[in-house]
């Protein structure tokens, strides 16, 4: 029952790796999607966020105004810690439910948790492997400007708000170098998949 954590900094190519693993048959559990789900209109998490940060972080239709909340917590470590204390337990509970559901459906499944904030929130969980998508911060900044339309200062701020590349590499069991071509990234991902399938088949024997 391989349970893999996949992480990487913003614009590191993590999503490319996740898509390739999904093509091979991995079950992808997306932490960002779970965050959006637990913060849905009417949820206890959204109510707690409004209580902590003000009703004006709720937009029209009762949905979270992510820009307003982001402005409230960005660069404020105490505010971010308060937000994480509200959101992370709910995400942990829902992700555990999805892991269990995947393994119940297929005991031999390879389940990959696509999680940007692994180092910040989930590094001590019992992962079989931690996989890190790795590219230099300068290259990731270029991607943010070229592909997402950010200004250079905005890109630098986004990268600076996350843990360092060194901190991510320090917890990695597998590092996938995403600084080259897409083909190079996919080839490394294919090799990882072969390793995961081999280890999963041994575990089931």
Domains in the chain, please, with CATH? Answer: 1-26+110-205 (3.40.50.300), 33-106 (no CATH)
Quote the CA–CA distance of 101 and 96 in Å, as a whole number.
9
The pLDDT of residue 76 = 85
C-alpha dihedral, 201 to 33 to 136 to 5, nearest 10°: -30
Residue pair 134/169 in contact (Cβ under 8 Å)? The answer is yes
Instruction: Write out the two tokens for 170.
Output: 């320090």
- Distance set, CA 51 to CA 54, 62, 63, 70 (Å): 6, 14, 14, 16
- Closest residue by Cα to residue 17 from 160, 176, 194, 129: 176
Quote the CA–CA distance of 56 and 60 in Å, as a whole number.
10
pTM score, whole prediction:
0.91
- Distance set, CA 175 to CA 56, 122, 172 (Å): 41, 18, 6
Each of the 205 residues of the chain gets a pLDDT tens digit; together they read: 689 999 999 999 999 999 999 999 999 999 999 999 999 999 999 999 999 999 999 998 899 998 899 888 877 889 989 999 999 999 999 999 999 999 999 988 999 999 998 998 888 898 999 999 999 999 999 999 999 999 999 899 889 888 999 999 999 999 999 999 999 999 999 999 999 888 877 766 6
The pLDDT of residue 182 = 96
Q: Residue 8 in 3-state DSSP? A: strand
């Amino acid at each position: 029952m391989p349970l893999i954590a996949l992480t990487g900094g913003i614009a590191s190519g993590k999503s490319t790796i996740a898509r390739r693993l999904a093509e091979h048959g991995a079950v992808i559990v997306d932490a960002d999607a779970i965050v959006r789900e637990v913060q849905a209109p009417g949820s206890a998490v959204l109510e707690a966020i409004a209580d902590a940060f003000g009703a004006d972080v709720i937009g029209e239709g009762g949905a979270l105004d992510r820009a307003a909340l982001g402005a409230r917590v960005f660069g404020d470590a105490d505010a971010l810690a308060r937000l994480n204390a509200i959101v992370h337990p709910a995400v942990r509970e829902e992700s555990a439910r999805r892991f269990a559901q995947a393994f119940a459906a297929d005991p031999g499944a390879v389940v990959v948790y696509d999680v940007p904030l692994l180092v910040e929130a989930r590094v001590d969980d019992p992962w079989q492997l931690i996989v890190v998508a790795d590219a230099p911060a300068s290259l990731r900044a270029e991607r943010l400007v070229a592909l997402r339309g950010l200004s250079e200062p905005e890109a630098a701020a986004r990268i600076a708000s996350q843990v360092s590349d060194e901190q991510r590499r320090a917890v990695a069991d597998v590092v996938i170098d995403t600084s080259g071509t897409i083909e190079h990234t996919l080839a490394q991902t294919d090799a990882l998949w072969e390793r995961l399938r081999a280890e999963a088949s041994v575990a089931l024997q």
